[in-house]
Amino acid sequence: MKLFAFVKSAFKSIIKNFLPLIFTFSIFPIILGLVTGYFNEDMFVPSADMPVMAISIIDGDNSEESKNLIAFLESDEMKKLVETRDEEEGEYIITIPSGYGDSFLGNENIPIKIDVTDKGSTRQGSVLAEIIDKFNEEMYLGLCIQENIERKFNLEEKETLYQKIYGKFSNIYGNDLIENVIVTTKKSLTSYEHFSITFLSYMLFMVISSLTNGEYVVRENDLYSRIMAAPITETQYFNYNLVSSYLFVLLFNLLYVFAYRILGLSFTGSFTLLVMILIVQSLLGTMLSALLSLFLNKRIAIGVLNILIIVQLISGVTYRSLSKIGNGILANMIDRYSPDALIVNTYKNYLIYGDFNSIKTGLLSMFLVSIIIYAISLFGFKRKRGVAW
């Protein structure tokens, strides 16, 4: 009953201040995400059913094998991924060196050169290299088989074997190879997905700031001593207060995320997985709020939160531009060390892969960090008895 009273009081406060709260924690960050996503749409990877890579091909070998490679890159299946253009318009310049054809059965290593221009992406260049490597492997295997067949079988047997083998090769080129590469190129977020995560983190920090400020108000107005005059232990108060704070965080996380889901712009994967992330993420936000309000004074806590918000926003908004600097070194640093890295990477994996295995590490990490922070906060609360809350 005591817990119910805490929860009831929290929801009364939310209802009383519903309009300013929903504007601050839902409408405002959603608008920021939509506007930023709209104006940065061209910076992100286009849809997988459009040409992803503009390539130019320079054939320095002019052999049957090099012509086969060019035909493969210009095939209908590959048009889902690449578009052949003139040399000056290509984002990826593919140079087939002299001796390429002879190298297959001559055990020579004559690699194809792929130059990534300023307009291209190193990551997508790696995907293109992977496609060509796969083609070369299958071409080499095919030539070896052909050579062995020519030596050992008569004409009728040769024709039967050729039909079986090259029929299988056709399936490999037409389906497995292309589909695998399409999956790889889809593993990038749209601008709306990226900025929906960025401003979700921003919203979460804002909610943490609100909860932390609320705890300082309790201290400054001496409300703690009045609450403790009621028949309730300090530990009960601590836990009940966390529960009501948790529901507050969870509510606004749900409102934000499902607004994007209803619009069809982000968070459109598995409903169950999404709810799991929201539950654990809200737990982490609640515990961080408790930790800050317990161990830092008001000025320092507000300063820390403001710095975290600024760093998080700058890293999220500039992420795409930073990914093109120094082969993505700065972007990789953001992925690892940004204040919201754990949350962002979990949502990215959810949007890109959409299965439990891709998010289980992030979920477990957030849960364990939450438990550790809870233990530290409870210990600190008991040490300060009557001062911290």
- Is 212:245 a contact under the CB 8 Å cutoff? no
Contact 335, 341 (CB under 8 A): yes
User: How many other CB atoms sit within 10 Å of the CB of residue 134?
Assistant: 17
Residue spans per domain, the chain: 2-44+189-384, 53-186
Burial class (CB in 10 A: 0-12, 13-18, 19+), 210: middle
Structure tokens at 130: 């992977």
Ordered per-residue pLDDT tens for the chain, 389 residues: 567 766 777 778 788 888 999 999 999 999 999 999 888 877 775 444 444 688 888 888 888 888 888 888 888 878 778 888 887 778 888 898 888 877 776 667 778 888 888 777 776 777 788 888 888 877 777 666 665 655 555 555 555 655 555 555 555 444 455 555 544 445 578 889 999 999 999 999 999 998 888 877 766 665 555 555 555 677 888 888 899 899 999 999 999 999 999 999 999 989 999 999 999 999 999 999 999 988 888 889 889 999 999 988 888 888 877 776 765 677 777 778 888 899 999 999 999 888 899 899 999 999 999 999 999 998 888 776 544 44
Where does residue 224 rank: exposed (0-12), middle (13-18), buried (19+ CB within 10 A)? middle
**In degrees, to the nearest 5, what angle opens at C-alpha 369 toward C-alphas 293 and 224?**
25
- Helix, strand or coil for residue 17? coil
3-state secondary structure of 84: strand
Cross-strand bridge partners of residue 83: 54
**DSSP-assigned letter for residue 120:** S
The residue among 239, 248, 335 whose CA lies nearest residue 10 is 248
The answer to whether the beta carbons of residues 195 and 351 sit under 8 Å apart is no
Burial class of residue 343, CB neighbours in 10 A (0-12, 13-18, 19+):
buried
Q: Which two tokens stand for residue 239?
A: 């836990």
* Distance from C-alpha of 78 to C-alpha of 176, rounded to nearest angstrom: 12
